[in-house]
Amino acid sequence: MFAAVAELERKYIDLSDKINDPDIIADNGTWRKLMKEHSDLSPIVEKYREYNETQHNIEEAKLLLEENDDEIRALAKEELSENSEKLENIANELKILLLPKDPNDDKNVIVEIRGGAGGDEANIFAGDLFRMYSRYADSKRWKVEVMSANESEMGGYREISFMIIGQGAYSRLKYESGVHRVQRVPTTESGGRIHTSTVTVAVLPEVEDVDVKLDMNDCKFDVFRASGNGGQCVNTTDSAVRLTHIPTGIVISCQDEKSQLKNKDKALKVLMSKLYDLEQQKQHDEVAAERKSQIGRGNRNERIRTYNFPQGRMTDHRVGLTLYRLESIMNGDIDEITDTLITADRAEKLAER
């Protein structure tokens, strides 16, 4: 491992020289590419240098153990113990940093939430999850853009699609894909009985044109009059767009923008992300046939989480995490859940190496 990291350090030094070269700085595209590569290597190199420094401190402490002074030997023994423990921790951190990075981690995300089993209560909870993710995005200073929404008469949404724009959004939200189960007494329940409903969440990375080859001859566009809130202009012009991808049968509707052109552009973004996701899911299924992935992206139909309102409890079934602070979670405080999933995912990948 350390030979490989030493090679990465040499590459890092070379990149440091290049990004300060006036000729490369003049070529903005090349400079940005090299800067990103340099930035990606930076935490690995810094940790490797910390490892070397700690190793050096251990060697110095070993030399001091040979001194005749009892006090110096005692201090050296203490320093040797502290640095040996530190060295082991740094080595483990380096292993994590060297894990292959998900190429989509830095991308924006498209989130789709749909009410499942449970009728009106499922739709209401779909609205609650949209609020949860919106508040989480606010806490990260990410931007939320609704792309399309089909509101339910009793509140919430039959389905809602929205984009979250922010650095690292996919790295934090990719674990949300799956079936979310809610247990609570619906507002429409007069007998006070607890109902169980489900909502499905899909999280897709936003993809660039270069990531997906799309033949526009395979796309059919229809325009229609937008419905729901959005102002007089939205409701009185044929600005909404319905995009059908003929080979896959994927249908996407976008009506958030007043401009038909902007809605068409958003619909295409969603389609490209869906096509990319189909290919990613196909690759995942091929791997899952040999090894059941418990975290990662998982099965889209897998129940991943339960929100029990009478007990104020949230349980993530993939990692066995249970938290009794459901109110703060529904208000967007989901970092502890995400951090636990990331740690478990890394541990699983390390075990495979």
**Residue at 169 is within a domain:** yes
Residues 93 and 120 in one domain: no
More confident residue, 151 or 291: 151
More confident residue, 251 or 299: 251
Strands 303-308 and 178-184: parallel
**Residue at 103 is within a domain:** no
Instruction: Give the model's confidence band at 232: pLDDT under 50 very low, under 70 low, under 90 confident, else very high.
Output: very low
The pLDDT tens digits for 244-255 are: 888 888 888 887
Three-class secondary structure assignment of 284-340:
HHHHHCCCCCCCCCCCCCCEEEEEECCCCEEEECCCCEEECCHHHHHCCCCHHHHHH
Q: What is the pLDDT of residue 237?
A: 55
Percent of the chain with pLDDT over 70: 88
Q: What is the pLDDT of residue 294?
A: 40
| 269 has a pLDDT exceeding 70 | yes
More confident residue, 112 or 211: 112
Q: What is the pLDDT of residue 1?
A: 72
Instruction: Give the model's confidence band at 230: pLDDT under 50 very low, under 70 low, under 90 confident, else very high.
Output: very low
Q: What is the pLDDT of residue 143?
A: 95
Residues 226 and 203 in one domain: yes
Instruction: Give the model's confidence band at 209: pLDDT under 50 very low, under 70 low, under 90 confident, else very high.
Output: low
Q: What is the pLDDT of residue 353?
A: 65
Domain boundary among 97, 119, 143: 97
Q: What is the pLDDT of residue 316?
A: 95
Instruction: Compute the average pLDDT of residues 276-300.
Output: 54
Domain boundary among 97, 118, 140: 97
Instruction: Print the domain residue range for 212.
Output: 109-349
Q: What is the pLDDT of residue 184?
A: 93
| 290 has a pLDDT exceeding 60 | no
Residues 204 and 327 in one domain: yes
Residues 241 and 272 in one domain: yes
**Residue at 283 is within a domain:** yes
Residues 86 and 176 in one domain: no
Task: Return mean pLDDT, the chain.
Answer: 84
**Residue at 297 is within a domain:** yes
**Residue at 250 is within a domain:** yes
Residues 92 and 130 in one domain: no
| HSE-CB for 110 with a 13 A CA cutoff | 22
Strands 143-151 and 157-165: antiparallel
Instruction: Give the model's confidence band at 349: pLDDT under 50 very low, under 70 low, under 90 confident, else very high.
Output: confident
| 233 has a pLDDT exceeding 50 | no
| 186 has a pLDDT exceeding 90 | no
Residues 153 and 285 in one domain: yes
Closest of 102, 86, 108, 95 to residue 162, by C-alpha: 108
Report how many domains make up the chain. Answer: 2
Instruction: Compute the average pLDDT of residues 66-84.
Output: 91
Instruction: Give the model's confidence band at 291: pLDDT under 50 very low, under 70 low, under 90 confident, else very high.
Output: very low
Residue where the block lists tokens 């590419």:
33
| 327 has a pLDDT exceeding 90 | yes
Q: What is the pLDDT of residue 20?
A: 92
**Residue at 135 is within a domain:** yes
**Residue at 175 is within a domain:** yes
Instruction: Compute the average pLDDT of residues 48-74.
Output: 92
Instruction: Give the model's confidence band at 212: pLDDT under 50 very low, under 70 low, under 90 confident, else very high.
Output: low
**Residue at 104 is within a domain:** no
Q: How far apart are CA 67 and CA 71, in angstroms?
A: 9
Q: How far apart are CA 182 and CA 173, in angstroms?
A: 19
Q: What is the CATH number of the domain that holds 171?
A: 3.30.70.1660
